Structure 1
Amino acid sequence: MTNDRSERSTVRRVDRLEEIPDPTPSVEFAVVDVIISSTSIIRLLEQGAAYVRPFSDPEAALSFKQREDAVLVGEDGGGAIEGFDLSPLPSIIADADIEGRPVGIRTTNGTRAMERVGFPDGLVVGSTINAAAVAEELAGRQRDAMIVAAGRQGEPVPEDTVGAELIEARYTGVDVDEEHLRERVRDCSTAEWLREIGYGNELDDLLAFDSTTVVPTLEDGRFVDGYTS
């Protein structure tokens, strides 16, 4: 059963950033990169970051670090970026002292998806852990919305698709088999990679659906918590 949100506005889901239409439509955007950009930005704001600024270019991020005495969080193909301070893994972020400091983030897929839609004001970041809050925020704007699962190297990935499907379900009010969604995340290749590098504990966090109401929202090029419902 659906609620009346779909009568006020429409929502569309794409399962990889390359499916975003060109020219980019004038809609509300939610970008979903569950492992790991989206979840990291949420955790950075929860940890007290003054704001989080996304970058697609590592050199621009390094200039920002020098100019603003910022903390840089990021990865390139799963590896460290020279000059960056932290991996984007949430368990590493949890141990970092970032209270009140600006943070820059660059990731292989998530920030590329943000760049693809042009870093518009009002862009929100979605994950499995804030799906209900993101859906509520998008529905409250009463405009058409697009939920973008970032994917990887032009291909859909299960964890991003699950995150996007969950937000879409919360938006429309359609029931979903949450345990099946969790199984898809547990069985994905990125989850296996996390286990191989000793961070399988991150999965428990990702599978706690709707466990936070933080909705990172882009304002003047910076993510802040925009949840207002």
Structure 2
Amino acid sequence: MAIRLVIADDQAMIRTGLRLVIETAPGIEVVGEAADGRQVLTVARQLRPDVLLMDIAMPGLDGLSAARQLLEDPEPPKIIMLTTFNTDDNLHASLRARVHGFLLKSSPAEQLIEAVRVAAAGGAVIDPAVTPRVIDSFATQPQPIPAPELATLTPRELEVLRLLADGMSNPEIARDLRIGEVTVRTHVGHILRKLSLRDRIHAVVFAYEAGVVRPGRGRDDVRDGSC
């Protein structure tokens, strides 16, 4: 069954360009478009797409506000936010709203298509060019609030969470801790379940907000176990 997609952007040329790119990919069907946040609420709730590709900056009701409302629905679409790298100040807020990813409008076509597939499967995607800015945004956040959920993690799980927040992949964590990749995946699964998190991206957000790690720390600092 094809992935049903809705595109939301206030610029008709961008919607047309995205549609042309996406319609070249097998298994993805563009079922609707929206030109502003209020329209996307109506279109998404009527058509019930699997994935919503939405610009953050739209007139009236912006994309972030629309995403928050849709994600309160019983069966919301997977939402990927489109952003302009130099003007969007809402990356961190959108992650906290639990969207499924971010892409730059300049992203290559194959990256866009893959992101739609990953989101439809329940995964999360952040454009590599956006990731440093997401991490940098934590430097301006208020003092971290201790999270009682951290007490449910074992010492090893807490160590894995720190390394996740430092941007390490499963193979890197396995090498760093001298354990197998299967064991790392098991620890990550336990972390997500215990902290009620959907994916690795939101585990990173949680780690920074809870003060498990702090912006600007290097891997050596993370490995020493201090906060």
TM-score by length of 2: 0.28
State which structure, 1 or 2, has the greater radius of gyration over its C-alpha atoms.
2
TM-score by length of 1: 0.28
Structure (1/2) with the larger helix percentage: 2
* More contact order relative to length (CA 8 Å, sep ≥ 6): 1
